[in-house]
Structure 1
Amino acid sequence: MAFQYQEELKRLKLIPRYTIGESNLLHKTISFIDSASLLFIQDELFNKEIYKFKADNSNPYIIDAGANIGLSVIYFKMLYTEAEIVAFEPDNKVFKALKTNVETFSLSNVTLIKKALWNTETTLKFYSEGADGGRIAIENENEKLVEIETTSLRGYLQRKVDLLKIDIEGAETIVLQDCEDLLHNVKNLFVEYHSFTDQNQSLDKLLNILKNAGFRYQIQHIGLFSPHPFINITKHSGMDLQLNIFAYK
């Protein structure tokens, strides 16, 4: 079994980026749209278990904002088989893989919503990156754009939330500002913070929202990291910083 796993890792590493395919990495067929992002997310979730949390009951309520192809949904269901999950993913191609994977793993009590989170219900231009980096388009961006529907998170926070996971590539501060007064219902909150080079950084606003809602937090670098920021800033896809923020009460 270990040999087959290692051989599958080797195979996936050889697949060109943004190539749609399938893998048995989790002992069932997984549909993916980019092998590199599949390998990264699989390691983060199933090896490092960065989303692992302790629920007060056997059927926690989990909101997965930015579910991508569904590895996080699969992980949460492995952690708590009776969990109730609401998962958001706006990208058409990614959503198709998400839906297929949820069906392949026969996951019940999972609601999939093909919308992006924002501070209102509207239609926005969306940068369809082709892997796990899709996001609301930024100013002057004109390639790989599609139109997507958005919705507010407020309607999903009217009850106790055991875990709110937010990985929405730059919209996190706007979304949290919109529902700040409802975060008292959230026990655990994961948010990936993204800083774009041509926009004001909003980390201070985000952390103040968490503090005012009664959270303590831990911060970790993820992916994009500048070892000598006074000399050179590492940049990727218009970003100069990514952080994993784990907030808890």
Structure 2
Amino acid sequence: MLQYVKHVGKYLLRPEYRLSEKEAKKLQLIKRQPRFTVIQTDIFPSPLWMVDSASFVFIYSEIFKQEIYKFKTSNAKPYILDCGANIGLSTLYFKDLFPDAEVVAFEPDTKVFEILAKNVQSFRLTNVSLLNKAVWHSETKLQFYAEGADGGRITNDIKEANVVEIETVRLKDFINRPVDMLKIDIEGAETQVLEDIADVLSYIDKIFIEYHSFVNQEQTLDKILKIIKEAGFTYYINQVGIVSQSPFYEKKAFLGMDNQLNIFADRVK
């Protein structure tokens, strides 16, 4: 009874608590929706569409509750490269944090890209460039596993279901001026891309990298950390998504991945 009274008191006296309660109810409603289905939500002031309920709830929590992309800059109009923009939650966050920012958002999955473009239009975001291409170390065409949510990735298995051909751009071509934030969440292609841009990392102030380790494939975390350390960055690492409590006994895997890490690289001043 006492807990209920406290709850009612907070709800009546604290607007931010009411907002949190409404937000939680909307997230619960989204969780009950079928996966891999396009649905609309009013969790934001403007309508937003998603391609998958489960991945939305997870990404929303990371970006808007934990604020993993939050950063400081003295630049009133920061230049941000959003590699792996998905439906646009990261782009929305960056533009909310810095309304005058210039954002270039890359998303190779055509169906997901359509929702990204729709959300950017719904929020009337300006100075945002959208590219329906994957970032890579060259301009070419590659096979891409369109997972339908946030797990799409470049693949060599052309016999796998939902594999389509996509176009790529060379990320290095976009790093010809100071970059305030480089976000890389590209499902396993991060090492090849970082190796290609290693000699232009001096342009970049902050880098976010989601590292992916795949079952029975060479791990490349050491290569990534060596590149960013030699470029003058310090790093902080968080484990995310896949967690194996007893990895000596059993390693858990999801979509072929057995480990995911968030790497936050900050330039040494």
TM-score strictly above 0.5: yes
Q: Give the AA of the match of 1:28.
A: S
Q: Does residue 223 of structure 1 match 2:241? A: yes
Which residue of structure 1 aligns with residue 128 of structure 2? Answer: 110
Contact kept, 8 Å, 2:212 with 2:260, in 1: the verdict is yes
What is the SS of the residue equivalent to 1:150? strand
Q: Which has more helix, going by share of residues?
A: 2
Measure, in 2, the Cα distance between the counterparts of 1:79 and 1:140: 40
Measure, in 2, the Cα distance between the counterparts of 1:140 and 1:12: 33
Measure, in 1, the Cα distance between the counterparts of 2:153 and 2:97: 28
Which residue of structure 2 aligns with residue 66 of structure 1? Answer: 84
Q: Does residue 172 of structure 1 match 2:190? A: yes
Measure, in 1, the Cα distance between the counterparts of 2:27 and 2:157: 38
1:40-61 deviations in whole A, cap 9, x for unaligned? 1111111110000001211100
Measure, in 2, the Cα distance between the counterparts of 1:185 and 1:96: 31
Q: Give the AA of the match of 1:131.
A: A
Q: Normalising by structure 2, report the TM-score.
A: 0.90
Pick closer, same or farther for the CA change 1:86–1:169 going to 2, 3 Å: same
Which residue of structure 2 aligns with residue 31 of structure 1? Answer: 49
Which residue of structure 2 aligns with residue 147 of structure 1? Answer: 165
Measure, in 1, the Cα distance between the counterparts of 2:84 and 2:141: 17
Structure 2 residue ranges without an equivalent (≥5): 1-17
Pick from 202, 208, 227 the counterpart of residue 190 of structure 1: 208
Which residue of structure 2 aligns with residue 135 of structure 1? Answer: 153
Give the Å deviation of 1:7: 2.4
Q: Give the AA of the match of 2:48.
A: I
Deviating more after overlay: 60-69 vs 7-16 = 7-16
Measure, in 2, the Cα distance between the counterparts of 1:89 and 1:231: 37
Q: Give the AA of the match of 1:71.
A: L
Q: Does residue 55 of structure 1 match 2:73? A: yes
Measure, in 1, the Cα distance between the counterparts of 2:213 and 2:159: 16
Q: Normalising by structure 1, report the TM-score.
A: 0.98
Q: Does residue 97 of structure 1 match 2:115? A: yes
Q: Does residue 78 of structure 1 match 2:107? A: no
What is the SS of the residue equivalent to 1:12? helix
Which residue of structure 2 aligns with residue 41 of structure 1? Answer: 59
Where has structure 1 moved over 6 Å in runs of 4 or more? none
Give the Å deviation of 1:184: 0.7
What is the SS of the residue equivalent to 1:179? helix
Give the Å deviation of 1:198: 2.6
Q: Give the AA of the match of 2:68.
A: I
Q: What is the RMSD computed on CA atoms of the aligned residues?
A: 1.1
When Rg is computed on C-alpha atoms for both structures, the one with the higher figure is 2
Q: Does residue 213 of structure 1 match 2:213? A: no
1:83-106 deviations in whole A, cap 9, x for unaligned? 000000010000000000001001
Q: Give the AA of the match of 1:188.
A: K
Give the Å deviation of 1:141: 5.1
Contact kept, 8 Å, 2:104 with 2:130, in 1: the verdict is yes
Give the Å deviation of 1:140: 6.3
What is the SS of the residue equivalent to 2:265? strand
Structure 1 residue ranges without an equivalent (≥5): none
Which residue of structure 2 aligns with residue 200 of structure 1? Answer: 218
Measure, in 2, the Cα distance between the counterparts of 1:197 and 1:4: 40
Percentage identity across paired residues of the two chains? 51
